[in-house]
Structure 1
Amino acid sequence: MNIETRKLNIINWVSHLQDEAVLSRIEQLQSQKQDWWDLISEEEKAEIKEGISQADKGETKTTEEVLSKYRKWL
Structure 2
Amino acid sequence: MSTISAYDAKTHFSSLLERAGDGETVVITKHGRPVAKLVPFDVRPAVDDLVDALLEARKGVRLDGLHTRDLIENGRRY
Which has the greater radius of gyration?
2
Alignment TM-score, normalising by the size of structure 1 = 0.34
Higher relative contact order (CA 8 A, sep 6+): 2
Would you tell me which structure has more helix in proportion to its own residues?
1
Alignment TM-score, normalising by the size of structure 2 = 0.33
Would you tell me which structure has more strand in proportion to its own residues?
2
